[in-house]
């Protein structure tokens, strides 16, 4: 096994850490780390690419910008925020990771995330699979009809799309209408049995936001806006985010 020697050199001015601190509330708290390791112990990405959240933060504190902005580990972080939850100092490591991702030229970012973000921007569904509003509507209506007929106890079940004045605006995992449409039904059944007044939107129904994982602010915002605009237009009071 070969050991890689890391040269620290002099701490530079205007480091990556400084830039991140500028955008965090009250100057951030990234330099308050106690090195306790609680973040690393619960992080699902610990050990991948020879990195963990505590190490990542220490490297930021040491001004190792080149390493931070080139390690593929940043793409392993799930943005789950578990590290913030357990951190005694509430240090926002995912924000640091997000900003490191943002330094990568777009075309060099992971193809899966990039492609899913581009698909979601393709039409007004916001679907990571690129499914159009018409195709989504067709699948939902088709599956609903099938269950109403096959299971008489659910003959009155509904799966509304663009129902004006519904209480709940529900979004949907993009993959299910395409690859596993039956997987949509259990939630419909629950909503039916509890008598919920709900609807999908024909626009903005896609539940994931790969553009957030891509660290592309404008696209992330666009997808969120598209969904919330539709919820507002339908007069829904509660946004049910399934993703």
Closest to ligand SF4 by CB, 39 vs 140, is: 39
Residue-wise burial string across 180-218, b where 16 or more C-beta atoms lie within 10 A, e elsewhere: eeeebbebbeebbeeeeebbbbbbbbbbbbbbbbbbbee
Q: How far is the CB of 31 from ligand SF4 (least distance, A)?
A: 10
Binding site for ligand SF4 (CB under 6 A): 33-39, 43-45, 53-54, 57, 77-83, 86-89, 91, 93-94, 97
Closest to ligand SF4 by CB, 141 vs 217, is: 217
Residues 6+ apart with CB under 8 A from 87: 38, 39, 93
Closest to ligand SF4 by CB, 45 vs 166, is: 45
Q: How far is the CB of 100 from ligand SF4 (least distance, A)?
A: 11
Q: How far is the CB of 88 from ligand SF4 (least distance, A)?
A: 6
Q: How many residues does the chain have?
A: 243
Closest to ligand SF4 by CB, 57 vs 120, is: 57
Closest to ligand SF4 by CB, 101 vs 163, is: 101
Q: How far is the CB of 232 from ligand SF4 (least distance, A)?
A: 30
Q: How far is the CB of 206 from ligand SF4 (least distance, A)?
A: 23
Q: Which of 85, 76, 26 is nearest to 56 (CA)?
A: 76
């Amino acid at each position: 096994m070969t050991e890689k020697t890391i040269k620290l050199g002099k701490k530079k001015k205007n480091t990556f850490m400084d830039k991140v601190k500028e955008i965090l509330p009250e100057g951030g708290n990234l330099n308050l780390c106690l090195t306790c390791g609680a973040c690393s112990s619960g992080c699902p990405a610990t050990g991948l690419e020879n990195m963990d959240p505590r190490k990542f933060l220490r490297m930021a504190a040491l001004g190792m910008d080149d390493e931070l902005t080139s390690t593929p580990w940043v793409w392993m972080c799930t943005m789950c925020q578990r590290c913030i939850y357990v951190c005694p100092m509430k240090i926002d490591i995912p924000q640091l990771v997000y900003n490191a991702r943002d330094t990568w030229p777009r075309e060099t970012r992971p193809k899966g995330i990039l492609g899913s973000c581009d698909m979601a921007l393709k039409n007004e569904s916001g679907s990571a699979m690129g499914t159009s509003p018409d195709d989504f509507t067709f699948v939902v209506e088709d599956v609903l009809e099938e269950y109403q007929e096959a299971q008489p106890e659910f003959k009155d079940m509904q799966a509304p799309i663009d129902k004006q004045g519904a209480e709940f605006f529900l979004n949907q995992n993009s993959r299910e209408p395409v690859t596993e449409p039956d997987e949509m039904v259990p939630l419909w059944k629950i909503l039916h049995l509890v008598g919920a007044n709900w609807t999908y939107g024909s626009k903005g129904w896609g539940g994931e936001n790969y553009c957030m994982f891509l660290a592309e602010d404008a696209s992330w915002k666009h997808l969120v806006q598209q969904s919330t605009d539709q919820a507002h237009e339908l007069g829904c009071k509660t946004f049910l985010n399934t993703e």
